[in-house]
Amino acid sequence: MTILVTGGAGFIGANFIRYWLDAHPLDRVVCLDKLTYAGNLSTLRPLLGRENFRFVRGDICDRDAVDALFEEERPGVVVNFAAESHVDRSIEDPGVFLRTNVLGAGVLMDACRKFGARRFHQVSTDEVYGDLPLDRPDLLFSETTPIHASSPYSASKASADLLALAYFRTYGLPVTISRCSNNYGPYQFPEKLIPLMIANALADRELPVYGTGENVRDWLYVEDHCRAIDAILSGGRPGEIFNVGGHNEMRNIDIVRLILRRLGKPESLIRFVADRKGHDLRYAIDPAKIHAELGWLPETRFEDGIARTVDWYLENRGWWEEIVSGEYRNYYERMYGGR
């Protein structure tokens, strides 16, 4: 079987490709990635020589290139990770989010129809549900929670979900959708909370915490997300949405303090900065459906996963220092200079 993984040079896609080649060594994996600022081919370098792995640089919005790749590879399954994924960047410049996250998903689904893929899986996010209040811990996102996106990023992801469901209903395209909570683990680009705080702490730079740091995210180790997608591909019914999360809600400030403690750095590095516009207060996933229907449960406890992640960033400084020294720095100045 050939599986096409788009966005596989990014954080979750790269972890997924490694996971898939281990779990399904007889499959062929083709990765299509544009290598935007967030894509890093060095993450996939160890796989590049393998016979059952192919990397193709390309844009999911480029219909001719996508069709040509489908014609050549005839993927049975397509998993779409390719996206602009950073909320702060979407607030700065929404246009590219609409292009990649909505139009790109549409181009891939058209190719799936044209070349007869037996599954299109859209990797979505819990952010499509908007946020939950901080003082109602009883409330969780279920698959029937109405879509209520807050940022241009989450609105673009919600749009792709609606398009996928419309392709299922209208054309019978066998789509599935996963809506996962915040991921953490190796190879995450150091603009997202956890790797940014680790990198800054190691360099004795300030740790910029938005607002009061009381916003809550529901963290899942990236490998558990990969296993959830595998479970959906093998057992999930087409047309269905699956929420993915591990009941692991944490306040941002507590994550930042935990990272500082683990690195033996002082809390005086924390700096509270102006809040993100439209900042979602709390995300919390109810994963009852994927557990009941597909038997999926997370395997990594947060204490273990965060320790492993901090150690990974310590042992793989070359990977992220290369990133931090590049284009990322200009972005960093724009985002935090004068804040």
Closer CB to ligand TYD, residue 32 or residue 255?
255
The phi, psi pair for 251, rounded to 5°, reads -75, 145
Q: Which residues contact 23 (CB under 8 A, 6 or more apart)?
A: 230
Q: Which two tokens stand for residue 38?
A: 């967030």
Helix or strand run (H / E) with residue 166: helix 152-171
252 binds ligand TYD (CB under 6 A): yes
Catalytic (active site) residue 153: yes
Nearest residue to ligand NAD on Cβ basis: 10
Q: Which residues contact 150 (CB under 8 A, 6 or more apart)?
A: 127, 130, 131, 278, 280
Could you give the CA distance from residue 36 to residue 149 in angstroms, rounded to a whole number?
24
Burial of 205 from C-beta contacts in 10 A (0-12 / 13-18 / 19+): middle
Which string of x and - marks every residue 191-210 that binds ligand TYD (by CB under 6 A)? -xx--x-----------xxx
Active-site entry in 33, 59, 84, 126? 126
217 binds ligand TYD (CB under 6 A): yes
Minimum gap (Å) between residue 26 Cβ and ligand NAD: 25
Closer CB to ligand TYD, residue 28 or residue 192?
192
245 binds ligand TYD (CB under 6 A): no
Minimum gap (Å) between residue 96 Cβ and ligand TYD: 16
Long-range contacts: 265-272, Cβ < 8 Å, 24+? 265/201, 265/202, 265/204, 269/200, 269/201, 269/204, 269/205, 269/206, 269/207, 270/206, 270/207, 270/209, 270/213, 271/206, 271/207, 271/208, 271/209, 272/209, 272/210, 272/211, 272/212, 272/213
Which of ligand TYD, ligand NAD, none does residue 260 bind (CB under 5 to 8 Å by kind)? Answer: none
Q: How many residues bind ligand TYD (CB under 6 A)?
A: 12
Catalytic (active site) residue 84: no
Which parts of this chain interact with ligand NAD (CB under 6 A)? 6-7, 9-13, 33-36, 38-39, 59-61, 81-85, 100, 104, 123, 125, 157, 180, 182-183, 189
Catalytic (active site) residue 299: no
The residues facing 180 across adjacent strands are: 125, 244
Active-site entry in 33, 59, 84, 127? 127
Minimum gap (Å) between residue 127 Cβ and ligand TYD: 6
Active-site entry in 129, 153, 313, 328? 153
Q: Among residues 6, 15, 145, 215, which is the contact residue for ligand TYD, using CB under 6 A? A: 215
Which of ligand TYD, ligand NAD, none does residue 209 bind (CB under 5 to 8 Å by kind)? Answer: ligand TYD
Helix or strand run (H / E) with residue 5: strand 2-6
Provide the annotated active-site residues.
126-127, 153
Residues making contact with ligand TYD (CB under 6 A): 87, 182, 192-193, 196, 208-210, 215, 217, 252, 276
